[in-house]
Structure 1
Amino acid sequence: MKPRSANSPVLLEVKNFLASCKNVGAGIIVGVSGGSDSVGLVHALACQIKKDSVSKLIVAHVNHASRGAENDADEVFVRHSVEKLREVTDALVEYKTIKLNPDDLNVGASWEKNARQARYKWFSEIAIESKVNWVFTAHTSNDQAETVLMRILRGSGVQGLGGIKPKRSLTKGVGLGRPLLFCSKEQIFDYLRGNNIVWHEDPSNQQTRFLRNKIRLHLLPLLKSEYQPAIERILAGLSGHVHAYASLEKRLARKIGLKLEKPRVLDQVVLDRAAVSMVPAWKLSLFLRSLFARESWPTDAIHHSQWKKIAQNMGVDGYEVHLAGGIRIQSNRYTVVLGPT
Structure 2
Amino acid sequence: MHQFVQAVKQGLLECHQRIDAEQTTEKYISSRANRILIAVSGGADSVALMRALDQLNKSHAVQTAPDSLVVAHLNHGLRGDVSDADAAWLGQECARLSIPFVTEKQELHLTSKESKEGLEEVSRKARYKFLTRVAHEQECTQIAVAHTRDDQVETVLHHLIRGTGIAGLRGIPRIRPLEQRLFLIRPMLELSLDDVLQYLKDCGQDFRTDESNTDLSFTRNRIRHQLIPLLKKEFNPNVAQAVHRLAHQAEEVTAIVAEQVDQILADATLDQNQETWRLDCKVLQNVPDYLIRQCFLQIWQRMSWSRKRMGFDHWQRLLMLTHSGQKLSLPDQVEAERRERLLILRKLKNASSE
Which one-letter code corresponds to 1:331 in the other structure? E
CA distance in 2, matches of 1:197, 1:34: 11
**Correspondent of 1:80 among 92, 114, 130:** 92
Aligned position for 1:89: none
The Cα RMSD (Å) is 2.3
Matched, 1:11 2:10: no
Shift of 1:194: 1.1
1:193 aligns with 2:205: no
- Maintained 8 Å contact 1:273/1:335: yes
Counterpart Cα distance in 2 of 1:316 and 1:276? 15
- TM-superposed CA distance for 1:337, in Å, is 1.1
Alpha-carbon displacement from aligned partner over 1:280-319 (angstroms, at most 9, x marks no partner): 5333212123333444544455444543343224652121
Does 272-281 or 162-171 show the bigger shift? Answer: 272-281
For 1:112, which of 120, 130, 133 is the aligned residue? 120
1:131-150 matched pairs, under 5 angstroms: 131-150=139-158
Give the counterpart letter for 2:5 in structure 1: L
SS in 2 for 1:49: helix
Asked whether the 8 Å contact 2:74–2:127 carries over to 1, the reply is: yes
User: d(CA) in 1 for partners of 2:169 and 2:309?
Assistant: 15
Deviates more, 1:256-265 or 1:235-244: 256-265
Task: Work out the CA distance in 2 between the residues paired with 1:320 and 1:155.
Answer: 23
8 Å contact kept, 2:276–2:344: no
Letter in 2 for 1:320: S
1:330 is aligned to: 336
Give the corresponding residue for 2:188.
Answer: 180
Question: How much identity, in percent, do the aligned residues show?
Answer: 27
SS of residue matched to 2:131: helix
Of stretches 301-310 and 111-120 in structure 1, the one that deviates more from structure 2 is 301-310
- Asked whether 1:94 is paired with 2:100, we answer yes
Deviation at 1:83, TM superposition (A): 2.1
TM-score by length of 2: 0.84
- Larger mean CA deviation between 23-32 and 180-189 belongs to 23-32
Matched, 1:70 2:82: yes
Q: Secondary structure at the match of 1:243?
A: helix
Partner of 2:327, secondary structure, is coil
CA-to-partner distance for each residue in 1:119-176, whole Å, 9 max, x for gaps?
1122111222222111100000000000111111122111111110111101111011
C-alpha contact 2:314 2:330 (8 A) present in aligned 1: no
5 Å matches for 1:182-221? 182-221=190-229
Aligned to 1:312: 320
- Cα deviation, residue 201, structure 1: 0.9
Q: CA deviation at 1:190?
A: 0.3
Gaps of 5+ in 1: 1-5, 87-92
Deviations for 1:181-240, whole angstroms, at most 9, x for unmatched residues?
000000000001111111111111111222111111111111111001111111111111
- Structure 1 Cα separation of the partners of residues 214 and 173 of structure 2: 25
| Structure 2 unmatched runs, 5+ | 21-27
Q: 1:275-294 alignment to 2 at 5 Å?
A: 279-294=287-302
Question: Residue 156 of structure 1 contacts residue 303 of structure 1 at CA under 8 Å; is this kept in 2?
Answer: no
Residue matched to 2:230:
222
Give, in angstroms, the shift of residue 332 of structure 1: 4.4
How far, CA to CA, are the matches of 1:126 and 1:232 in structure 2?
34
Q: Distance in 2 between matches of 1:124 and 1:25?
A: 20
The CA deviation at 1:81 is 1.0
The 1-side partners of 2:248 and 2:346 are apart by 31
Distance 1:40 1:248, change over 3 A: same
Query: Cα deviation per residue 1:42-78 (whole Å; 9 max; x = unaligned)?
Result: 0010000148733331100011111211211111111
* Paired positions, count: 326
Name the structure 1 match of 2:23. none
Cross-structure match for 1:43:
51
Report if aligned partners of 2:327, 2:335 keep a CA contact under 8 Å in 1: no
User: Are the counterparts in 1 of residues 269 and 277 from structure 2 also a CA contact under 8 Å?
Assistant: yes
Give how far 1:179 is off. Answer: 0.6
